Structure 1
Amino acid sequence: MKESLLFTPASIGPLTLRNRTIRAAAFEGMCEGNSPTDLLYDYHRSVAAGGIGMTTLAYASVTRNGLSFPHQLWLRPEIVPGLRRITDAIHKEGAAASIQIGHCGNMSHRAICGCTPVSASSGFNIYSPTLVRGLRKDEIREIAEAFGTAVNLAREAGFDAVEVHAGHGYLISQFLSPYTNRRRDEYGGSLENRMRFMEMCMAEAMTAARDDMAVLVKTNTRDGFKGGLEIDDCIEVARRLERCGAHALVLSGGFVSKAPMYVMRGRMPIRSMTHYMKQLWLKAGVRMAGRFMIPDEPFREAYFYEDSLKFRQALRLPLVYVGGLVSREKIDMVLDSGFEFAAMARALINEPDFVNRMRDAGELRCGCDHTNYCIARMYSIEMACHRHVKDLPPCIKREIDRELARR
Structure 2
Amino acid sequence: MESKLFTPVTFGPLTLRNRTIRSAAFESMCPGNAPSDMLLDYHRSVAAGGIGMTTVAYAAVTRSGLSFDRQLWMRPEIIPGLRKLTDAIHAEGAAAGIQLGHCGNMSHKSICGCTPVGASGGFNLYSPTFVRGLRADELPEMARAYGRSVNLAREAGFDAVEIHAGHGYLISQFLSPSTNHRKDEFGGSLQNRMRFMDMVMEEVMKAAGSDMAVLVKMNMRDGFRGGMEMDETMQVAKRLEQSGAHGLVLSGGFVSKAPMYVMRGEMPIRSMTHYMTCWWLKYGVRMAGKWMIPAVPFKEAYFLEDALKFRAELKMPLIYVGGLVSRSKIDEVLDDGFDAVQMARALLNEPGFVNRMRDEENARCNCRHSNYCIARMYSIEMACHQHLGEELPACLKREIERIEAKG
Output the amino acid matched with 1:398: R
Question: For 1:346-361, what aligned pairs fall within 5 Å after superposition?
Answer: 346-361=345-360
Output the amino acid matched with 2:9: A
Shift of 1:112: 0.3
Percent identity among equivalent residues?
73
Question: For 1:388-399, what aligned pairs fall within 5 Å after superposition?
Answer: 388-389=387-388, 390-399=390-399
Output the amino acid matched with 1:133: R
Partner of 1:301, secondary structure, is coil
Matching of residue 402 in structure 1 with residue 402 in structure 2: yes
CA offsets 1:361-400 (integer angstroms, 9 cap, x no match): 2221100000000000000000000001131122211111
Aligned to 1:273: 272
CA distance in 2, matches of 1:334, 1:263: 18
Question: For 1:132-281, what aligned pairs fall within 5 Å after superposition?
Answer: 132-281=131-280
Shift of 1:225: 0.7
CA distance in 2, matches of 1:394, 1:84: 41
Question: For 1:31-50, what aligned pairs fall within 5 Å after superposition?
Answer: 31-50=30-49
Q: Provide the aligned C-alpha RMSD in A.
A: 0.6
Partner of 1:303, secondary structure, is coil
CA offsets 1:74-117 (integer angstroms, 9 cap, x no match): 01000000000000000000000000000000010000000110
Aligned to 1:374: 373
Shift of 1:140: 1.1
CA distance in 2, matches of 1:299, 1:79: 37
Output the amino acid matched with 2:40: Y
Aligned to 1:343: 342
Question: For 1:279-290, what aligned pairs fall within 5 Å after superposition?
Answer: 279-290=278-289
Output the amino acid matched with 1:171: L
CA distance in 2, matches of 1:400, 1:83: 34
Shift of 1:219: 0.4
CA distance in 2, matches of 1:81, 1:395: 42
Aligned to 1:67: 66
Aligned to 2:80: 81
Shift of 1:405: 2.8
Aligned to 2:384: 385
CA distance in 1, matches of 2:95, 2:288: 42
Aligned to 2:319: 320
The answer (yes or no) to whether the contact 2:97–2:158 under 8 Å persists in 1 is yes
CA distance in 1, matches of 2:403, 2:262: 19
CA offsets 1:169-203 (integer angstroms, 9 cap, x no match): 00000000000000010100000000000000000
Matching of residue 14 in structure 1 with residue 13 in structure 2: yes
Output the amino acid matched with 1:185: D
CA distance in 2, matches of 1:347, 1:55: 13
Partner of 2:54, secondary structure, is strand
Shift of 1:142: 1.1
Please, which runs of 5 or more residues in structure 1 have no aligned partner?
none
CA distance in 2, matches of 1:265, 1:406: 13
CA distance in 1, matches of 2:46, 2:359: 16
Shift of 1:402: 1.5
Partner of 2:368, secondary structure, is coil
CA distance in 2, matches of 1:402, 1:347: 20
CA distance in 2, matches of 1:401, 1:178: 39
Partner of 2:248, secondary structure, is strand
CA distance in 2, matches of 1:92, 1:197: 38
The answer (yes or no) to whether the contact 2:328–2:361 under 8 Å persists in 1 is no
Aligned to 2:301: 302
CA distance in 2, matches of 1:405, 1:265: 15
CA distance in 1, matches of 2:161, 2:219: 17
Output the amino acid matched with 1:116: T
CA distance in 2, matches of 1:60, 1:187: 25
Matched pairs, number: 406
Partner of 2:315, secondary structure, is coil
Partner of 1:332, secondary structure, is helix
CA distance in 2, matches of 1:393, 1:140: 47
CA distance in 2, matches of 1:102, 1:225: 22
CA distance in 1, matches of 2:252, 2:406: 26
> Structure 2-normalised TM-score?
0.99
Shift of 1:138: 2.2
Aligned to 1:334: 333
CA distance in 2, matches of 1:360, 1:32: 37
CA distance in 1, matches of 2:170, 2:8: 33
> Structure 1-normalised TM-score?
0.99
The answer (yes or no) to whether the contact 2:68–2:107 under 8 Å persists in 1 is yes
CA distance in 1, matches of 2:212, 2:393: 44
Please, which runs of 5 or more residues in structure 2 have no aligned partner?
none
Aligned to 1:30: 29
Partner of 1:312, secondary structure, is helix
Query: Which contiguous aligned blocks of 4+ residues in structure 1 show a shift greater than 3 angstroms?
Result: none
